Amino acid sequence: MNILAIDIGSQLGWALTKRDGSICSGSEGFAPGKHGGHGGRFLAFMAFLNQLRNSHGDIHAIYYEDVKRHQGVLSAHAYGGFLAILQAWCFTNGRVPLYAFGVGTIKRQWTGAGNAKKDKMIACAKQRGFAPADDNEADALAILSLACHHEGRPFPAPNAKPEGALL
């Protein structure tokens, strides 16, 4: 079962655990100027989801950070747009189940504090052996950890050897 975790935003963090137990993750930029305007960023996000599916196989569940409060109107609009694209993508790709975790729940599970700052999220990812590019990737790894717990499967270590792999 391939599980994708997403920290939604213009700088989007993602983490994917595959059937074989391996993890890949990253941080992708979807700023409007980079993609030809505000609408282009959402099309680029949809293309990114398709690329993940094409590169890693079907995605069987997606977990994301459910943000209820944004610092500004533009951030709220962008979040809503990305969430709408994510919901539509899930629906049109076999009705992939989509689950949300609250910000405080994710931070508390990863750091022990529901109000942990960005540097603490990154530090916790590094303590677990990951090398996140930024706080968005660290957040996605934390979401994935919680998703694995929710799915009743272990959270793999970075660069875990797939089951049955030769040493």
Say what the pLDDT of residue 154 is: 85
d(CA 88, CA 46): 9
Say what the pLDDT of residue 86 is: 98
User: ∠ CA(118), CA(152), CA(166), 5° rounding?
Assistant: 90
DSSP bridge pairs for 65: 101
Structure tokens that stand for 41 in this block: 């960023």
Structure tokens that stand for 13 in this block: 């963090």
Say what the pLDDT of residue 29 is: 95
Structure tokens that stand for 20 in this block: 């074989």
Structure tokens that stand for 54 in this block: 């094409």
Structure tokens that stand for 58 in this block: 């079907």
- Return averaged pLDDT per consecutive 10 residues of the chain, 167 residues in all: 94 92 93 80 95 94 87 79 96 96 93 93 94 96 95 79 38
d(CA 146, CA 154): 10
Domains of the chain in start order, with CATH, are: 3-151 (3.30.420.10)
Strand order in the sheet with 23-29: 23-29, 11-17, 3-7, 61-66, 98-102
Say what the pLDDT of residue 159 is: 65
Total-model pTM: 0.90
